[in-house]
Amino acid sequence: MSLSYEGTIPSRPRYGQLTPRPGSGHLFVADGEGADAILALFAGPGAKGMLATTQIVYMPGPTGTDKSAELEKLGADIFFRAPDYSTAQPRLKRLFGSAHMGLQLYLTGTEGLIGQAQRDAIEAGLPHTAMQTEHRGSTVRRVQCVHCKGITENVRTDPFVCSHCGLNLFVRDHYSRRLAAFQGVNIDAEDPGQVPPQVERFA
Amino acid sequence: MSAGAQRLDVTVAEVVDVNPLIKRFRFVRTGGGALPTFSGGSHIVVDMDDAGTRRLNPYSLMSDPGQTDSYMISVRRDDNGRGGSLYMHRSVRPGMQMQIGWPVNLFPSDLRAKKHLMIAGGIGITPFLAQMAQLDRIGGRFELHYAARNRTLGAYMDELQTRYGARVQTYLDEEGQAMDLKGLLTSQPFGTHLYVCGPKPMIGWVLDTARTLGWPEGALHSEEFLAPPVGQPFEVELARSGKTIRVGAAQSLLEALEAAGVDAPYLCRGGACGQCETDVCEADGTFEHNDHWLSDAEKASGRKIMPCVSRFRGARLVIDR
Ligand code: FES
């Protein structure tokens, strides 16, 4: 699944491609197909020597992709598998709290994963431009309802029903770095019940 | 009119000899009252009337940003400079009325940082004095590493060590004390931002070392005010105002524009902020680009010039002013 940036707005995050960078250590945070980006980086030039100082925190993707076995075989200094981001989060926060400047951060996989890891790194004091990101896999979105503030994970359709307050929400490209979420706005506020058919926009 | 060009009327309240090279000046608002608030790292442009020659030099505010009853700057005498610092040292006396620009901050502390690591060389200490006072008040974590030739020239070293204790480390070149920069940069907690102010070679050394060690660009901050270099006099045609002006050997193009009554934008007057960027309409000759603003490609294109520090040699130059 690849993302298209066509016709979007400036606040919509954009992603690049992971490349090895010099540093005292390397922390990869990935979910699902993000594993492929890590494998590709280590298959390329300039990365072999990094393995001894590499740590990988990995979780399966929202569509169930789990490439733990392949990643573990890579031979990084530390490989850690978590069931999901909220389980991995305390470990990441502890890592950020004890790490030193020079540690390189590589985030890859779904936008929800990248955004949340980025938010936690920014909270740890890192500039938002400091981490490398590469989108891989599912395009499902993490969306915050602007009305009840509840966050719905893995949104596939547009519009969708808020999992907290039940409003019909239209998925915008407007993105909050602080929340690591896109914005969802009620679509039938004027004419309750007038909801356009749901379209599978994210897969 | 450009932001930094807004003037404040001030009176010199105090002039203090800090050491053989540095004098400290304190300004209060003429007629009383508070001066505008500022944040640590800000500078002001001091307007000097040096026997008919107008000089506008930027100096970092060193006083505590929490105190707006007066501003303090420190000026290092440069005997080979164009004369601004010599004027400040020789002619500025308590009671004198002067004009200064509003504070502008091109070197702010990034308050999202977990820790602020500051590296100062010589007179480059001044912006950090204000930053530390501000951070200390809000409970920010910081550490200063301050190098100077010797203790006499290490302005404020003793006061800083008394006030901030182990958060201030000093290095005296003449006593062979060298900073272990690599050790320093590899032991900083994740989320630290780095700030450096001092002589050009020092800034280059610190930033290059940090980059090699994997520090991200967004965590690196530096400030260096370039004094406009002296050079050959040259002529410039001004396309918009229809004038032709001559830039003297010890004058900058920006100063020549101002002397001709042409309103040209500026903030730093030191080649750093980008505010004075000017389009070149025609050029037959060689540019002497001295700024830190334009990219190498822009410098090579010959389509842009930064009048605060850059010069020209050749047959003809026409700029869009
Ligand atoms: S005035 Fe700042 S670059 Fe010229």
CATH for B42: 2.40.30.10
In angstroms, the CA B165 to CA B114 distance is 20
Q: Tell me, what's the pLDDT at B54?
A: 86
- Cβ of residue B253 lying under 6 Å from some atom of ligand 1: no
Asked if residue B170 and residue B196 are part of one domain, the reply reads: yes
User: Choosing among B111, B142, B184, B190, which should be mutated to test the A contact, i.e. which has the most A CBs within 10 A?
Assistant: B190
pLDDT digits (tens, 9 = 90+) for B265-306: 998 898 888 999 999 999 999 999 999 899 999 999 999 999
* Residue type (1 letter), A1: M
By Cβ distance, the residue of B186, B194, B216 closest to A100 is B186
Question: How many CB atoms are closer than 10 A to CB A136?
Answer: 25
Q: Tell me, what's the pLDDT at A57?
A: 98
- Cβ of residue B199 lying under 6 Å from some atom of ligand 1: no
Within a domain: residue B36? yes
- Cβ of residue B272 lying under 6 Å from some atom of ligand 1: yes
Asked if residue B213 and residue B150 are part of one domain, the reply reads: yes
- Cβ of residue B56 lying under 6 Å from some atom of ligand 1: no
CB A154 within 8 A of CB A139: no
What chain A holds in terms of domains, given with CATH numbers, is 25-135 (3.40.50.80), 141-200 (no CATH)
Residues 6+ apart with CB under 8 A from B33: none
Reported ipTM: 0.82
CATH of the domain at B130: 3.40.50.80
Q: Tell me, what's the pLDDT at B1?
A: 43
CB burial class (10 A; 0-12, 13-18, 19+) of residue A58?
buried
| DSSP reduced 3-state for B43 | strand
Strand partners, A57: A29, A80
DSSP B73-135: EEEE--TTSSSHHHHHHHH--TT-EEEEEPPEESS---TT-SEEEEEEEGGGGHHHHHHHHHH
Do residue B190 and residue A130 have CB atoms under 8 angstroms apart?
Answer: no
End-of-domain residue from the set B80, B105, B130: B105
pLDDT digits (tens, 9 = 90+) for A129-187: 899 999 999 889 999 999 999 999 999 999 999 999 999 999 999 988 888 899 999 98
Q: Whole domain around residue B43: which residue ranges?
A: 7-105
pTM: 0.86
Nearest CA in chain B to A127: B218
Mean pLDDT of B88-113: 95
Phi and psi at residue A55, to the nearest 5°: -125, 135
Q: Tell me, what's the pLDDT at B5?
A: 59
pLDDT tops 90 at residue B230 = no
Within a domain: residue B229? no
CATH of the domain at B301: 3.10.20.30
Would you state the structure tokens that stand for residue B89, as one six-digit string?
A: 């040292």
Could you identify the residue written with the tokens 């980059």? Answer: B211
pLDDT tops 70 at residue B3 = no
Within a domain: residue B1? no
- Rounded to a whole number, what is the distance in angstroms from the first to the last CA of chain A? 8
Within a domain: residue B179? yes
Count of domains forming chain B:
3
End-of-domain residue from the set B105, B130, B149: B105
Q: Tell me, what's the pLDDT at B228?
A: 81
Tell me, in angstroms, the distance from the centre of ligand 1 to residue B303's CA: 16
By Cβ distance, the residue of B115, B188, B216 closest to A129 is B216
CB B57 within 8 A of CB B85: yes
Asked if residue B143 and residue B46 are part of one domain, the reply reads: no
Atom of ligand 1 nearest to the CA of B292: 3
